[in-house]
Structure 1
Amino acid sequence: MVKSVHEWKEEVFPALESKASEFRLMGYDKVTAEDIWNCLNEKVWKNNPSKRLFEIVQDILRLSSNVYMSYLTINAHQDDNLMASIAALTKKES
């Protein structure tokens, strides 16, 4: 059966937990299943494609630490830019 990626989330949660556990063993202490899901959505499943269950699980289990680190780095830069923008706006208002 083919469904959009987001429709499979509940069914693949054990695989997400497994990948998060694997990454925690590699030293990513704070990674969660939700982090893995968000990373895959941004890096692998852009535009919510339709896939079969085994394809989703395969994508989860194949997620490399390099892709995850890239995701974290980009998000950290975006957060820094957002914080700088907020600081600039609040400074002007003061």
Structure 2
Amino acid sequence: MAEAHPYQQYFQQLLPALKSKVEEFRLLNYGTIDIPTLWEYLTKKKWKKPKEHIHIYELVSDIVATTPGDFMSYKTVEAFRGKHWFGENGQGEWQELLGTKKN
């Protein structure tokens, strides 16, 4: 099981800011975002290297400063890192697509 992020202890306190940011994204027509997805972005990208003595206002500031562009860039990179673009036979399909598959 993955180890919990050090800022997980602040999740409940940050919930109003997270909800507000999700609502903002939805108003800007980024309707697929939800709180768990935003939290994942923050913990895996924005707070990748957590500070030892962080203040709650710094975390709120990071949430408020998050832009749709930041989030979408992260999601795009994560999609490219995905293992199976073409399913279980991904390698063979890539080779066939690129014309490098040997018969």
Shorter-chain TM-score range: 0.7 to 0.9
Unaligned ranges ≥5, structure 2: 1-5, 93-103
Unaligned ranges ≥5, structure 1: none
Of the three residues 47, 50, 59, the one matched with 2:49 is 47
Moved over 4 A (4+): none
Q: May I ask how many residue pairs the two structures share in their alignment? A: 85
For normalisation by structure 1, the TM-score amounts to 0.77
- Using the TM superposition, give the Cα deviation of residue 49 of structure 1 relative to its aligned residue in structure 2, in angstroms: 2.7
Higher strand proportion:
1
RMSD between aligned residues: 2.0
For normalisation by structure 2, the TM-score amounts to 0.71
Taking CA–CA contacts closer than 8 Å with sequence separation of 6 or more, which of the two structures ends up with the larger relative contact order? Answer: 1
Aligned partner letter, 2:37: D
Larger Rg: 2
